[in-house]
Amino acid sequence: MTTRVMVGAEGVLLRACTAADAPALHRLIGAHVEEGRLIPRTLSELGAHASRFVAVERSQTVIACAELAPLSSSVAEIRSLVVEARARGEGLASRMVHELTRRARHDGFGRVCAFAHDPGFFVGLGFSIVPHAWVPEKIAHDCAGCPLFRTCGQHALVLDRDAPIVWPVEAADRHAVNHAH
């Protein structure tokens, strides 16, 4: 999967990752861990799971990434969603979530989940906030062994296979809509 995505006057490339991308993924995720939003990931783990990731590249530099991690044969999680601070607000995260959701549906997953401190982004894309207990695969896979289990402050969000994926109105679109008479 390689898709050219145009953002404003600048083009960026949305693409699947390979093991060669592990250092760039590690850098991005590490910077976000310092902001207190993500769990640390090792370079070797990222190299082993690089094919689960999509990246956004500008001028041959990875500026955003996200992973679709299978939790069971029917549930996959979007995680490690990171956009460099200077590129936030350009719709890159939405594009990655849409691509990973499309990939999940293609691969036969019945549900996509995400866990976020601020659920508004995912709700805006059509995800629903649910009790953590509704995603037992995540609890078994990651939460049960976490020192922050039951106190992490994250919201569980899900999007079922047949639910529509919502494209939020981006700033440029809002401007055009607000000025079209």
Q: Which domain holds residue 52?
A: 2-179
- State whether residue 141 is helix, strand or coil: helix
Residues 72, 43: Cα–Cα separation, whole Å? 24
pLDDT at 168: 60
CATH no. for residue 67? 3.40.630.30
* Sequence letter at residue 172: A
pLDDT digits (tens, 9 = 90+) for 47-88: 999 999 999 999 889 999 999 999 999 999 999 999 998 998
Supply the pLDDT for residue 163: 75
Contact 86, 73 (CB under 8 A): no
Which pLDDT belongs to residue 161? Answer: 81
| Ordered DSSP codes for 73-140 | SSEEEEEEEEE-GGGTTSSHHHHHHHHHHHHHHHTT-SEEEEEESSTHHHHHTT-EEE-GGG-HHHII
CB 172 within 8 A of CB 151: no
Residue 14 CA from chain centroid, whole number: 13
Per-residue pLDDT at 26:
95
The count of structural domains within the chain is 1
Which amino acid makes up residue 118?
A: D
| pLDDT score recorded for residue 180 | 36
pLDDT lower than 70: segments of the chain: 1-10, 36, 136, 140-151, 153, 164-165, 167-181
pLDDT at 22: 96
Q: Please give the pLDDT value at position 173.
A: 37
